Structure 1
Amino acid sequence: MPVYLSNERSATAAWKASAAFYWQQDAITIPLADNEADNLRAIQRAGRQLDNSGLQHLAIAGEGWDIERQWALAQGFTSTLSSNQISWHEQQPQVAEQLTQMTDIARWTRELVNLPPAEIYPQSLAQRVIDKFKDVAGDDQIDYKIIAGDDLLEAGWVGIHHVGRASVKQPLMLQLDFIPDGNKDTDVSAALIGKGITFDSGGYSIKASEGMLAMKCDMGGAATVAGALLLAIQRGLKKRVRLILCCAENLIDGSAYKLGDVITYKNGTSVEVVNTDAEGRLVLADGLLAAGEAGAKLVIDAATLTGAAQMAVGNEYNALFSVDDGLAAETLNLAAQEREPLWRLPLAHWHSNNCPSAFADTANSRPQKGGGAGGASNAAGFLLRFAPHQGQGWLHFDLAGAYHNSANGMWATGATALGIRTIAATLMHEA
C-alpha cells in the first residue's frame, strides 16, 4: 500500500480529525503538522494506526520523505512480533540502505528484549550477541571472553555473582571487543556496559505478580548497548570498543543473596544490601570497574534501572546522568540530532552519599519504597562510586523509554530500542 505525505488535510468524508491518515484512491495520505517535531509524531502515530488496521506492507511514495520521516513511520508500523515490512523511497537508495541497517539492528534489539525468559537467559543472551557481532563485523574484528559462575568470584566480579547465584542459569560477564584493525594490542577507546538481568523476580524483596510480568525486559540495557555498537559499526566506527554485559537472573532459593548482606568490590568499596530488587546497580558496578581496568576514556552504561526515572521523564524519554557537563551537553545535542528524546536529570558527587549504611561504605538503596525521593539520582550516585576517572568521560542512561507494557498511540507492546541511535552517535563523535 503506497503512503504519501500532504500539507493539506483532506476535505473528503474519508478523513476525520481524530485520524492520523486518510484513504484516497487506493493509497494512504498522512497530513503533516505545523512543525517538524509534531510531523514526526504524527507520522509515527499514523504508523501505529496502520499497523492496527491489519496492513503488513507499506511503500513510501511521493515527495517530502527524508530519512527521519521514513524512520518515524517505521517506528510506528513495527508490530510486536516485527512481521511488518516497509519499502523505502525508491528514489533515495542511499537513505534506503541506512534505513535497512537501522531496521535490522532495531528489530534485533527489540527481539532480544521481547523474547520470553525461557529463551533469553545469561548464556543464551551472550551467545546471541556474539553470533550477531560475528555476522555483522566478521570473526577477524571480534574478540570475546565469558566469565561465568564461580569464575566470577575468582575474577573479582562479586556483584554479578551475588545477584545471580540463586539461579540454575549461571550468571556471567561477557566482554566483547570490536577491533577494526584486528590488532589485539590496540588501546580500548570506549566501553559500553549493559545491565543484563534476563529476569528479575526482585529476589527476597520480591515483586508483586503484575510488576514481575514484564521483567524479561530487565536486560534492555544490555540489548541497547549491543545494538548501539552494531549501529556504530555499520556507520563506519574505526575505534576499538569493549562491550561489557553483566548478566544474571535475580531469583530466590536457599543460596540467594539476602537483605543485610555486605558485598565488597574490587576497588574496596563495601555495600550493604538493603533491597535485593535494587540489583541492577550491583551488577553494573562490576561493569564499571571492568571498564576502568580496560583503560577506556569514554564509558557509557545503560540500564532499565529505576522506576523513579520513569516517574520523572515518562516512558517516551530516556534519562541521562553525568558529572561531565561537556560530555552530557554534547550527548543531548546528538540525541536531538538523532530524534531520540533524552533528558538530563540531576547528578552531583554528593549523590554518592545518599544511601548511607551503618555497616558498610554505602547501601545499595534506601530502605523505603522506590528508594525514596530522588531515587534515580541516588542510583546514579551509587554507580559514580565505581565509574573511572571520578566520573569524567562517563554517561549513565536510565532507559525509561525502553519498554512499554501495553501498546499506545506511538509504540507497539514491548521493546522500543530507544537509545541505540544516541549511544551510537556518541561513540562515533567521542570515541
Structure 2
Amino acid sequence: MSSSYTVQLTESKGSSAWKPSAILNTADNGATITTGANEAENLRQIQKAGRQLDNLGLKQVDLLGENWSLERQWAFHKGFMDTRSTNQVNWANHDAEALARLQQLADVSNWTRELINLPPNAIYPESLAQRVIEKLSAVAGDAINATIIKGDELLEQGWIGIHSVGRASQKDPVMLVLDYNPSGDASAPTAAALVGKGITFDSGGYSIKSSEGMLAMKCDMGGAATVAGAMALAIQAGLQKRVQLILCCAENLIDGSAYKLGDILTYKNGLTVEIVNTDAEGRLVLADGLLKAGEIGAELIIDAATLTGAAQVAVGNEYNALFSVDDELATQSLQFAAEHNELLWRLPLQNWHKKNCPSAFADTANSRPQKGGGAGGASNAAGFLLNFAPRDGQGWLHFDIAAAYHNQANAMYAAGATAHGIRTIAQHLLTI
C-alpha cells in the first residue's frame, strides 16, 4: 500500500461493485467521494466520508483534484479530524490565499477543540485565562493587553455572579478582560466585546447533577473557548478594529461556602436575583460579563455559552441557537452562518422574556424551579440575560451553542468539541 492515501471527488458512481447509494468508495491507496447537484448535501456527505475514513484508522490523507473548493476541503477536515486532533489533511493544490485560510481555520479550530476537550484537572479558571492570553498574544503580539481579576477582587469590584458561582472551589474564580487594540491608541473606541461562559467544571452546585450528566461538564467552558477562537481567527484574517474579550470563569462546586438556593445576589446595575437553581449558573456569570461590556461601551456585544439543555432539545446537536431582540443584527448573523456553513437557528426572544423567571423576593429569579427551567427554558435564560444587556439589547447577540460538544462520536464529528460557531462570530468582527 502506498504511504500516501489520496481522496478525490467524482460525480460518477464508480465501480459496479458498490451499491448505487454508496457515497464513499475505498481502495488500497485511495478513496473517491461521489458528489451530486445539491451542494449543501455534498458538504454533509463529504464530512461524513471524512468521519468514515477516520473510523477506518487512517491518520493522514492527501486531497487531490480540481473539485475541492475551500468549503469542501473544510467539510472533509471537520469529519476526518479525530478527538485529539492528531490526524492530518494535506490540502488540495489551490491558490496561496485559500491554502492560508484553510490552515488558519485548522489551527484555530484544533486549538479551540483541544481547549474544550482538556480534562478539568488541567483546565480551571486561571489556567483557562492564561491559555487564552498565550494563544492570542502569539497571534496578535503587542496589540494584546490582558487583565485578570480573581478571587475576592471580583467581590471588591462588584462582580457578584462570577464570585458567587466560583467561591466554593479551591481554584479562584476569574474574569479575564483581554484588549486587542491594533491602533495602540488608548482612546480608540471598542468596536465589539465578546463575552464567554467559562465554567471549567459544573457539578450543578447544590442542585447537583447526576453522575452521567456531570461527566461531560468539562465542556461548560465551551463558550469561552468559542469566542476566544473566533477572535483569534478574525485577527489572523486582518481584523483592524479594537475588540475586547471578557471571559467569565469559575468552577461550580460544593462546600460550606457555596452559594445556595434562596440566596439573593445584587448586581452592579442594582438588579436583585434570587437563586432557585444553582445549576443555572452560566447566566449568573454572563450577567457580569454583559455589564462589563456595557462599561467598556462596545457597539457590538456577542456572548456564547453552553447555557441550556433546552436549546439542545429545540435545535438538536447540529445547530447552535441564536437569540436577539435586534432583528437586523440577528438576520446578519444568520446570513454569516449560512455563508460559512455553520448551522444556526433563531429562537424566540422578546422583551417580556425578561420577566419570565419571577421571584416574590427579588427583581427576578435565575430560572424557574422546574426541570429544565420549564417551557421555553432557553428563551427564558436569554430573557434573564437581556436584563443585563446594554441599550435594551440593541447590538447584542446571544449564542446558546448546542452544537459545541458531542458526548459521543456521530456520523459528522468525533467525540468531544466541534468548534462550531467560530467562523460566524469571527465574520461579525470582520464586518464591524
Q: TM-score, normalised by structure 1?
A: 0.98
Q: CA deviation at 1:101?
A: 0.5
Partner residue of 1:316 out of 299, 310, 318: 318
Partner residue of 2:232 out of 216, 220, 230: 230
Residue pair 1:197, 1:246 contacting (<8 A) in 2 also: yes
Q: Deviation above 3 Å: which 4+ runs of structure 1?
A: 16-20
> CA offsets, 1:222-275, max 9 Å, x none?
000000000000111110000000000000000000000000000000000000
Partner residue of 2:42 out of 39, 47, 50: 39
**Distance change >3 Å, CA 82–CA 17, structure 1 → 2:** farther
> CA offsets, 1:299-341, max 9 Å, x none?
0000000000000000000000000000000110011001100
Aligned to 1:9: 13
> CA offsets, 1:400-419, max 9 Å, x none?
00000000000000000000
Q: How far apart, in 1, do the equivalents of 2:36 and 2:253 lie?
A: 48
Q: CA deviation at 1:10?
A: 1.4
Q: CA deviation at 1:181?
A: 1.2
User: What 5-or-longer segments of structure 2 have no aligned partner?
Assistant: none
Residue pair 2:23, 2:35 contacting (<8 A) in 1 also: no
Q: How far apart, in 2, do the equivalents of 1:161 and 1:17 lie?
A: 59
Identity %: 68
Q: How far apart, in 1, do the equivalents of 2:350 and 2:20 lie?
A: 47
User: What 5-or-longer segments of structure 1 have no aligned partner?
Assistant: none
Q: CA deviation at 1:123?
A: 0.7
Q: How far apart, in 1, do the equivalents of 2:416 and 2:29 lie?
A: 31
Cα RMSD for the two superposed structures:
0.9
Count, aligned residues: 428
Q: How far apart, in 1, do the equivalents of 2:146 and 2:278 lie?
A: 30
Q: Secondary structure at the match of 1:242?
A: strand
Aligned to 2:92: 89
Q: How far apart, in 1, do the equivalents of 2:418 and 2:22 lie?
A: 23
Q: How far apart, in 1, do the equivalents of 2:35 and 2:216 lie?
A: 35
1:54 and 2:57 matched: yes
Q: TM-score, normalised by structure 2?
A: 0.98
Q: CA deviation at 1:24?
A: 4.6
Q: How far apart, in 2, do the equivalents of 1:222 and 1:247 lie?
A: 8
Q: Secondary structure at the match of 1:118?
A: coil
1:350-389 alignment to 2 at 5 Å? Answer: 350-389=352-391
Q: How far apart, in 1, do the equivalents of 2:190 and 2:266 lie?
A: 27
Greater alpha carbon shift after TM alignment, 237-246 vs 82-91: 82-91
Q: Secondary structure at the match of 1:167?
A: coil
Q: Secondary structure at the match of 2:205?
A: coil
Q: Secondary structure at the match of 1:249?
A: strand
Q: How far apart, in 2, do the equivalents of 1:297 and 1:81 lie?
A: 37
Letter in 1 for 2:396: W
1:77 and 2:80 matched: yes
Letter in 1 for 2:67: G
Residue pair 2:11, 2:35 contacting (<8 A) in 1 also: yes
Aligned to 1:250: 252
Aligned to 1:68: 71
Q: Secondary structure at the match of 2:328?
A: helix
Q: How far apart, in 2, do the equivalents of 1:425 and 1:168 lie?
A: 38
Residue pair 1:320, 1:398 contacting (<8 A) in 2 also: yes
Q: How far apart, in 1, do the equivalents of 2:253 and 2:69 lie?
A: 46
